[in-house]
Amino acid sequence: MKISKILLLLAMVAGVAFADPIPTEALTQSGLVMRDRQLRDIGLVMRGGRGGFVDIGYTYTPSSEQLQLKSKYGVHDGFAFRHHYGIFGSWALDSVSHLGFLTWFDRVGWDSQDFFFFPHYGDFAHISSSFTWGFSYTNTKYDVTAALGLQHQNLELASHKVYPNESDSLLFYWAHARYKNVSLQASFYRNTFQTIRLSLDLESRSLYGGVSSGYKTFLPNLSATIYRRKTNGDDDNFVRLNWEQNLYEQVLYADVSFDFPDDGFRSAALKFYPVPSRLLGIEASCLRRQERSGAKDLLWGGAIDLFFLRLGYNTVFDYENMFHAKGTLIAEIKVSLGKIGRDHFGRGASQPAPMVTTERKPDLKKILKARAEQQNLGSTSIDAQGNKVIEAKGIRYEKVDGSATQGGN
Amino acid sequence: MKYLRLFLCLVAFSLTACMSHVFTDTTTRLQVENKTDVTILGVDIISEDGKSVYTWIRDAVEPGEKSRVVEEDWVGSFKVRVRFDKWSGIANATYCAKEIDVEVRPKVMVQALAKKSEPNVIITDDYGCSQEGNLHMVYSEATLDFEGGSQHLIVSQDEDGNVAFKLK
C-alpha cells in the first residue's frame, strides 16, 4: 500500500518535471481539431442513430508548470484546459422512426489561471470554443440514419502579443448519412468542403443487431477522410485512413492511421477493453510527429480509462486534443455513456454492457404491517374458547351519570 | 471517515479550476535596483529572434536607485534585456562581434576586463565595428525565471566588467 502511494507520488512528480511546454501554433489550430473530433464522435453515435449518448468531462492539470505555454518570448506558467460535453437524445415517432437532437460543445485553450466558467483572460491567453448541433432521423426498418446541422467556431480571446490573427468562423455546416454500416459525412464552410469522410464499419456488432462472435467480428472498420489544407496559399489536401481491427473477442483492438499522399504512417494504438462495452479501457499508443526523423520522431504513450477518470501519458488523443502536450500525465474527469433501448455502452462499443437487473419486488407483508402499526388499528388475539378477540385501543369510555349527560333536559 | 473523504475531495476540487489563483501568482510585480555606475534606461522582454520587444520598466533608473514597481503577466522563463545609457568597459572594447546574427546593424561586444567570462554587454552601432561616437544602444541580455509575485531584480557590474543579474 505504501509503495503504491510512493509510486503514485513519483508518477505525479515525473508528470510535471518532464513536461514539454505547448506551442502557440497548436493553440491556433485548436478550432480545426475540435470540429473534426466532434464530427468523428457524432459519426460514432450515428452508428446507432437512436437512444441517447452523453459525454461530459474536463481535464485536471493541477500545476501551473505542467502545461506551460511556449511563445516567442519564452515559457509562460499557466494552465491548458479542455472542457467539453456531447449530448444526443432521441424519441421514437413510431415503431421504426426516431428523431434525434444533438449538441457537442468544447471550450479549450490556455490561460494563466484555471477556471470552470469564467476565465481570467490573462495577457497570453487563447480561448476558443466549438459548438456543433443538429438533428437526426433514423429508420430502423431500412437501417438508415440522416443527420445535419451547423458548427460554430468561436474565438473568445487570442492575445495579439503572441498569436497570429485568426478569423472567427461561425458558419460551418455538416451532414451525415448512413445506410447499414456505410457512412458518409461531410462538413463545409460556405461553398468549400472542410472534411469528407467515408466510413465502412464492417465489424459485426451485437449492439446494432450483429453477432458477438465469429469471423464477422474480425472484419475491419475503415474510414477515409479528406481534409482540406492550404500550404502557402495552395491547396494541399490530404487523406487520413483509419483502420480499427478487432484482434480478440472484441476486447482487444488495434487502431492504425495513415496519411496520404505524403506523410505515411501517422499513429498506432493497441486498446484493451476488459468488457466489450468499452466502459473501461487501457491503451498503448504510438504517434509519429513528423518533427524529427528516426526513432525520436515516435511518441510512445499509454492511458487508463476508469469510466469516471481517464489518465493519459503521451497518448495520441492527448497530443492531438491538448495542444501537443507531451511528457506529462493528464487526468480527465469525465463520464461517457450511451444507451439504446435497455443497453448501455461506451463510446464506439461493439457490445452492450451485461445487464445488471436488480428487480425490487415490494414486500407486501412488511408494508401491511407497517401500515397497521402506523394507523394503530389494534391487534387480534384468540381467547381460550377459540374466538377472535379484538381489543380496541384509543377509544375511551367514560362512565357518566344521567344528570350530567342529559344536561339542560 | 465519510466526512474526511468528502473533505479531501473538496480540498482537491478547490485546488483546481477556480481556486488555484488563490495559491499561485499569475503576475509578477517587478522592481529593478541599479547597482551599476551607469543609468538604466529601461527593461524589456524580448523574443528569441530579437524582433519582438515588450517594454516592462519604462523609467530611467539612476545608479543606486530603484525603479517603480510594475505589474505584468510575465510568469515563467523569459529573455530580459536591460538597456544602459553607456557602459564603463567601453574604453577597453577590443572585441568586435560581427558574426552575431544582426540584420540591421552590427554589434560590438564589450570586452570583459579580466577575460574570465564571456562578455555580455552588447553595443549596436549604426556604422559598424570600432566606430566610437555612433552608439545606438548599449544593453545586456539574460534569461530569467519569474516565479510570480513581488520580485526584485538587482543589476550590478561584476569584476570582469560584465553585467550581473540577480532576481530575488
Q: Which domains does chain B have, with CATH numbers?
A: 2-167 (2.60.40)
- Asked if residue A390 and residue A299 are part of one domain, the reply reads no
pLDDT at B102: 46
Residue A318 lies in a domain: yes
pLDDT of residue A407: 46
Residues A337 and A375 in one domain: no
Q: Which residue has the higher pLDDT, B167 or A40?
A: A40
Residue A63 lies in a domain: yes
End-to-end CA distance of chain A: 90
Q: Chain B interface, mutation test: which of A111, A113, A330, most B Cβ atoms within 10 Å?
A: A113
Return left, alpha or beta for A338; rule: phi > 0 is left, psi -120 to 50 is alpha, else beta: beta
Classify residue A23: in a domain, yes or no.
Answer: yes
A217 CB burial (10 A radius; 0-12, 13-18, 19+): buried
Q: A294 in a domain, yes or no?
A: yes
Q: Can you give the pLDDT at residue A371?
A: 77
Higher pLDDT, A304 or A392: A304
A251-260 CB contacts, 8 Å cutoff, 24+ apart: A251/A275, A251/A276
Higher pLDDT, A372 or A221: A221
> pLDDT tens digits, residue range A120-143?
888 899 999 999 999 999 999 999
Q: Compute φ and ψ for A201, nearest 5 degrees.
A: -90, 80
Nearest Cα residue to A43 out of A201, A157, A229, A252: A201
> Average model confidence (pLDDT) for chain A?
85
Q: Considering the entire predicted model, what is its pTM?
A: 0.79
Q: Is the pLDDT of residue A48 over 70?
A: yes
- For A83, name the nearest residue in chain B, comparing CA atoms only: B17
Residues A42 and A101 in one domain: yes
A289 lies in the same domain as A384: no
The total of structural domains in chain A comes to 2
| Confidence at residue A247, expressed as pLDDT on a 0 to 100 scale | 93
Of the candidates B142, B138, B90, B145, the residue with the CA atom closest to the CA atom of residue B113: B90
List the one residue out of A70, A59, A61, A88 whose CA is nearest residue A22: A70
Report if residue A172 sits inside a domain: yes
Q: Are residues A191 and A231 in the same domain?
A: yes
Q: What is the mean pLDDT of residues A41-67?
A: 89
pLDDT of residue B93: 46
pLDDT at B103: 47
Q: Are B59 and B105 in contact (CB under 8 A)?
A: no
Distance of residue A161 Cα from the nearest chain B Cα, in angstroms: 9
Is B54–A73 a contact, with Cβ atoms under 8 angstroms apart?
yes
Residue A329 has pLDDT above 70, yes or no: yes
pLDDT (0 to 100) of residue B89: 58
Shared domain check, A392 and A243: no
Q: Hey, is the C-beta of A72 within 8 angstroms of any chain B C-beta?
A: yes
Distance CA A158, CA A110 (A): 10
Quick one: pLDDT band at residue A390, thresholds 50, 70, 90?
A: low
- CB-based contact A181:A201 (threshold 8 Å): yes
What is the grid cell recorded at B78? 523569459
Domain residues for A375? 365-406
Same domain, A369 and A325: no
C-alpha B129/C-alpha A15 separation (Å) is 49
Please identify among residues 90-109 of chain B the ones whose CB lies closer than 8 Å to any CB of chain A. none
Series of mean pLDDT values for 10-residue runs along chain B (168 residues): 77 61 79 88 86 86 88 89 76 46 52 59 61 65 87 84 82
Instruction: For residue B136, give every residue at least 6 positions away whose Cβ sits within 8 Å of its Cβ, in sequence order, or none.
Output: B105, B123, B124, B125, B126
User: Are A373 and A339 found together in one domain?
Assistant: no
Angle subtended at Cα B67 by Cα B63 and Cα B69, rounded to the nearest 5 degrees: 165
Residue A161's pLDDT band (cuts 50, 70, 90): confident
Q: What does the pLDDT look like over A181-202, one tens digit per residue?
A: 999 999 998 888 899 999 999 9
Residues of B in contact with A5 (CB under 8 A): none
Q: Is residue A350 part of a domain?
A: no
Domain membership of residue A127 (yes or no) is yes
Contact B74 A122 (CB under 8 A): no
Same domain, A183 and A57: yes
The residue of A61, A112, A120 whose CB has the most chain B CBs within 10 angstroms, and thus the best one to mutate to test that interface, is A112
Query: In terms of DSSP bridges, do strands A329-340 and A309-313 run parallel, antiparallel, or are they unpaired?
Result: antiparallel
Chains A, B: CB contacts within 8 A come to 74
Q: What is the pLDDT of residue A356?
A: 63
Q: Least CA distance to A114: which residue of chain B?
A: B17
Residue B58 is predicted with a pLDDT of 87
Q: Based on the fold, state whether residues A281 and A229 are members of the same structural domain.
A: yes
pLDDT tens profile A70-103: 888 889 988 899 999 999 999 999 989 999 999 9
Which range is least confidently modeled, A148-152, A314-318, A358-362? A358-362
In this predicted model, what pLDDT tens digit does every residue of A254-300 receive, in sequence order? Answer: 999 999 888 888 999 999 999 888 999 999 999 988 765 566 788 89
Nearest CB neighbour to A64, from listed B17, B24, B74: B24
What is the structure's pLDDT at B156? Answer: 86
Is cis: bond before A23, omega within 30 of 0? no
Residue B126, pLDDT score: 52
Q: What local confidence, expressed as pLDDT, does residue A84 receive?
A: 94
Is the CB of residue A126 less than 8 Å from the CB of residue A24? yes
Residues A112 and A257 in one domain: yes
- Nearest to residue A39, comparing CAs of A214, A168, A226, A217? A226
Q: CA of A385: how far to CAs of A93, A327, A388, A389, A392, in Å?
A: 68, 89, 9, 10, 19
User: A112 vs B73: CB contact, 8 Å cut-off?
Assistant: yes
Residue A28: give its domain's CATH number: 2.40.160
Determine the length of chain A: 409
Mark out the alpha helices in B15-151 (DSSP H runs): 20-23
Q: What is the DSSP letter of B111?
A: P
- C-alpha to C-alpha distance for A138 and A340, rounded to whole angstroms: 13
In this predicted structure, the answer to whether residue A228 has a pLDDT above a threshold of 70 is yes
In the numeric block, which cell numbers belong to residue B86? 553607456
CA distance A272 to A302: 11
Work out the angle at residue A40's Cα, subtended by the Cα atoms of residues A316 and A93, and round it to the nearest 5 degrees: 150
Instruction: Decide if A206 is inside a domain.
Output: yes
Looking at the structure, tell me whether residues A284 and A389 fall in a common domain.
no
Determine which of A125-139, A277-291, A325-339, A366-380 has the lowest per-residue pLDDT on average: A366-380
